[in-house]
A and B are shown apart, each in its own frame.
Chain A
Amino acid sequence: MMNSRRIIFSAVLCATLARCEFLSAAQNDSPQNDNQSAMRTSNQHDKPSRTAGADSSREEGERVFAVHCARCHNAPESFSPRIAGTITRHMRVRANLSPDEERAVLEFFNP
């Protein structure tokens, strides 16, 4: 009884793995749906007129994310830009970010 449950559970895990790999491959083949990471999503929205200062701010945001946020968790693969401000405010409280760091992360999420 116990072995059969383990086998069923293992089968479900394998099926999920295969399904997600298939979906990932299909998504990667489609450039229009390529939003593998918050960082990449942000990059796709770059405007040609971006200034060097804004780029610098975004790089600072990427650095802040790497040293403060990624200490605890991996970055979510994508999220709506409409909640970028809410996420950074939550992270400001949870990770004790300074106001400058909060602004930099917001710029990184949603330039």
Chain B
Amino acid sequence: MRHFGPVLLFLYLLGLGGKASAQNTPLLSGGVAFVTNTTGGNTTYIPLIQPLAAVPLGDHLLVESRAGLLELFTPSSSGYQHSHFTALTYLQGDYIATRHLTVVGGSFLLPFGTYNERLTPVWIGNFQDESLAEPIGQMGTGVGLGGQVRGSIFSDAHSSFSYAAWFSARSGNLQFNSERSSGGRASVYLPGQRLELGASYGRLLQGSHENFGGAHLWWQTKDAGFRLRSETMRGEHAYGYWFEADYRPIRDGSGQVSFVRRFEPLLRMQQTFRIDNAASDGVPARNTQRADFGLDYNLPHNARILTSYSRQFSPGGDVNVWETGIVYRFLLPAWKGR
């Protein structure tokens, strides 16, 4: 029953949101996907749902939550075995206090680097799996339980500067598992160049009291669909980087997207380096390099087909990784209205 507590709370908030104004109806969004991963000849099948709900309350408050429900079909000696996984990804309240300050409370995605907050939704990420170095700085779960302040310090046509800082308590709760930690991220964005530069810092405040640092650079062309995303992160036991380039379909003058323009070629390169194996942090135990080549297809009606081939090099053995998937994104009001 306790697993349904957060769900019941959220449904109650959905009810409160019913008194919202015409454009502020609570929404249900998310992605439904079926993905496969073939690593070293073993194929795993994963049907999954990532629902997201957002409920505005009044003029300054927003409650939002995302969950993940998936079934994992993995090969075994007797065929396939399956296991399921259901969890809240985050459940947070956002209070817009001033022009430059938003206070976030609850269970939230850690604003360390860019991947965790921006690219983990299944309907957004170009590749199905996260980068090998992503666990660095994510404090084990990628989620904090506590408070966060964030906002835009200034923003004009030439530049903008934004920040986020968090403090998280330790929690062993099944739905809100987190480590005691603090940290933050600052980034500057230059609209003219479409260039974003940022840095992140995090400190684990329990156990080994480890420090983490990171930096990111994102760039996109002004009149074409080319995007470059890159990130590097360092901890006391491992460090690494990834960069990803993709070419998005661009609408022609009529607003339509042709068959060819719906293809989205991708490239990602990544490396992780081990300093020692004193911590079990989710990063490969040996130095690893990996190249990912992908080709996504953006179907009409908010659906995407994701395909990729990766070659991973490691002293423990080189492997091929094949991934395919289809993702449908939904976005609708929580209830019917006029």
Contacts and interface: CB of A to CB of B under 8 A. Distances in A.
Asked if chains A and B come from one complex, the reply is: yes
Interface of A: 2, 5-6, 9, 13, 16-17, 20-21, 23-24, 27-28, 36-37, 39-40, 63, 67-68, 70-74, 76-77, 79-87, 89-90, 92-94, 96-101, 106, 110
B24 A86 contact: yes
10 contacts: A9-B36, A23-B301, A74-B248, A83-B23, A85-B23, A85-B25, A86-B62, A89-B54, A96-B162, A101-B152
B13 interface: no
Contact of A76 (B117, B326, B331): B331
A89 B56 contact: yes
A28 B186 CA distance: 44
Secondary structure dominating the interface of B: strand
Nearest to B28: A83
B152 A74 contact: no
A37 B300 CA distance: 10
A90 B302 CA distance: 19
Interface string B60-72: 0010100000000
B183 to A, nearest CB: 16
B298 interface: yes
B314 interface: no
B274 interface: no
A98 B56 contact: no
Contacts of A27: 300
Nearest to A5: B43
Given A89-B62, A90-B62, A21 B259 contact: yes
B301 A77 contact: yes
A43 B305 CA distance: 29
Given A13-B305, A68-B189, 19 more contacts: A2-B43, A16-B326, A20-B299, A21-B259, A71-B227, A73-B124, A81-B23, A86-B20, A86-B54, A86-B55, A86-B56, A87-B27, A87-B54, A89-B54, A89-B94, A93-B94, A93-B104, A96-B152, A96-B162
